[in-house]
């Protein structure tokens, strides 16, 4: 009985994540660099997110520039690719990847990757997300910024070592303070955190669905046109398997500030 209770609690908490947002002002458009896809097609593994994206005719030259960055893991690159797919064509993303999720529910249980997940709200937030994306205007793809990766990684590493959750590090640094210690932001910053999922695609979808999160804060941040820059870090988590921290910014000034 005790083991069943522990298993229930772990699965329950996997269905939920924490979010805080802070954004202000507007920022000028940035151009996402492109790269030749043909030069690396032979390296793409069958069943990978890249392979799925190619099959579904996504423009990886514009959406998957992070794949060429050697400081990111494959899961971090998949998170950024997924974000760019949903931002640049939300209605198509909804039809291809969100609508099929609806058929995986049995009451409040969702069958995913051979596992029964106990959700808080059942199909409701998925249906909500589907219509939200269907009616959402396309948003510019993110530009990856190494300084945002560093601020996200600071928290991901901290949580990997401590087993904690949330936006505050063990040193008492929230996301705005952390980001400011790497670069001075000008037009707003935000952070989303996901736990448990072992693929970048599932991690992003879980945050978009926002099961049990009343204000649906994750999806609002991910789809906000104010944010043009992104950095993601994934680390092992001793309780939930993985923690994925994603930091966002509108724009930066050139002035750097030292950590406090």
Residue 9 lies in a domain: no
Residue 135 lies in a domain: no
pLDDT at 196: 84
Residue 6 lies in a domain: no
Residue 106 lies in a domain: no
Q: Which domain covers residue 50, as residue numbers?
A: 16-87+140-249
- Of 248, 227, 254, 230, nearest to 176 by C-alpha is 248
Q: What is the mean pLDDT of the chain?
A: 82
Count of domains forming the chain: 1
Whole-angstrom distance, CA of residue 97 vs CA of residue 86: 10
pLDDT at 186: 74
pLDDT per position as a tens digit, 44-75:
888 899 999 999 999 999 999 999 999 999 99
105-106, strands of its sheet edge to edge: 105-106, 109-112, 115-118
- Of 135, 134, 48, nearest to 92 by C-alpha is 134
Residue 172 lies in a domain: yes
pLDDT at 36: 52
Q: Which residues in the chain come in under a pLDDT of 50?
A: 1-34, 256-260
Residue 169 lies in a domain: yes
Torsion, Cα of 73, 100, 117, 230 (10° steps): 30
Residue 105 lies in a domain: no
pLDDT at 257: 44
Residue 181 lies in a domain: yes
pLDDT per position as a tens digit, 177-214:
898 888 887 778 999 999 988 899 999 999 999 999 98
CATH of the domain at 210: 3.40.33.10
In angstroms and rounded to an integer, the radius of gyration of the C-alpha atoms of the chain is 18
**In sequence order, what are the residues at sequence separation of 6 or more whose Cβ sits closer than 8 angstroms to the Cβ of residue 91?**
133, 134, 135, 136
Whole-angstrom distance, CA of residue 206 vs CA of residue 133: 14
Is the Cβ–Cβ distance between 237 and 161 less than 8 Å?
no
């Amino acid at each position: 009985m005790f083991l069943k209770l522990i298993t229930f609690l772990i699965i329950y908490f996997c269905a939920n994540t924490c979010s805080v947002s802070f954004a202000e002002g507007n920022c000028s458009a940035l151009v996402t660099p492109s790269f030749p896809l043909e030069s690396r097609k032979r390296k793409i593994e069958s069943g990978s997110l890249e392979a799925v994206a190619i099959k579904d005719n996504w423009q990886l030259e514009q959406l998957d520039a992070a794949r060429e960055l050697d400081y990111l893991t494959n899961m971090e690159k998949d998170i950024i690719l997924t974000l760019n797919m949903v931002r640049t064509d939300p209605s198509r993303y909804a039809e291809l990847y969100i609508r099929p999720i609806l058929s995986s529910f049995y009451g409040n249980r969702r069958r995913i990757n051979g596992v029964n997940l106990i959700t808080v709200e059942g199909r409701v937030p998925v249906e909500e997300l589907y219509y939200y994306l269907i009616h959402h205007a396309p948003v510019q793809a993110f530009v990856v910024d190494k300084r945002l990766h560093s601020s996200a990684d600071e928290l991901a590493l901290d949580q990997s070592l401590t087993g904690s959750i949330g936006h505050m590090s063990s040193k008492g640094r929230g996301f705005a303070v952390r980001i400011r210690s790497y670069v001075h932001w000008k037009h707003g910053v935000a952070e989303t955190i996901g736990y448990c999922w072992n693929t970048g695609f599932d991690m992003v979808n879980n945050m978009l669905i926002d099961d049990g999160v009343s204000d649906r804060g994750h999806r609002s941040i991910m789809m906000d046109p104010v944010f043009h820059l992104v950095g993601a870090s994934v680390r092992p988590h001793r309780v939930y398997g993985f923690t994925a921290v994603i930091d966002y910014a509108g724009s930066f000034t050139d002035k750097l500030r030292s950590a406090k």
